Structure 1
Amino acid sequence: MHLLIAGVLLASLSLSSAADGGWFTVYGDPVQSERDLIQIRPASIAHLEGDLISVEVRVTRDTLREAYGGGQYRGHQSLAVVDCAQREAWYTRMRFYAQPGWNGAASTERTFRQGEAPVTFKAIPDQADRLVRAACRLRR
């Protein structure tokens, strides 16, 4: 039974990833680019050391948000490190966009040290944990 469920989940993951350029939707609807959306790119997942992996993340928000380090954004494309054992994640690089859906030129790009910019989604409860679980399940 578990194998059947795993097979169905993998099939749906493959279809949703292929339909959106390889991005897996953790939260939201990719068709509604003006709404909150959280995605990871499974093909980008790389083992770093121990239980640490890296993954590309992209987020678009329905309202302006305050960026780590200052400034406002509606979307960002980022690289995150995920600690699968501790079930936490932090951004190491973030490219911010003033428009939702990563439209237009990036307004700011920043890099961060471990723990300096934790993966959190204010006003979208439990989605950071969901992102961590998804990335850890998809690791190679």
Structure 2
Amino acid sequence: MAYTVLKVCGAVYLSWLGLQLLIRPRSSFSEGDDNNVSQGSWFIRGMLGNVLNPKMGIFYVSFLPQFIPAGHSPLIWTFILVSIHVAIGTIWSVTLILSTRFASAVLKKSRVVRVMDRATGGLFLCFAAKLAISTR
């Protein structure tokens, strides 16, 4: 019963978001108060979001042990594997940051903002429909 209530509430909320984006897409990209936040603050927010994410701990505990060689120190190998994962994640994040800096001029155009809002609204409505008809 609780799952059904949560599912229906989620579907209604996604539908509302989707309809808002379809009916009234933004005409321009407004950055709001985010410009007043320092880059260091964004870094801290991102790092805390990752460190406090329980899924990462579950991932490390369940996925990494299979790659630790038998007879070797689990602590050292876990540190090595986590370091590799962090390095790959950092490279990927830097790539995304640099790519979006170049793409930001295009993404801020009013026509692109409207198209993206409408596409996102349609996607939210599809997710809402899928959620509403799902059994589990």
Greater RCO structure (CA 8 Å; 6+ sep): 2
Higher helix share: 2
What TM-score results when the alignment is normalised by the length of structure 2?
A: 0.25
- Say which one has the larger Rg: 2
More strand by share: 1
Scaled by the length of structure 1, the TM-score of the pair is 0.24
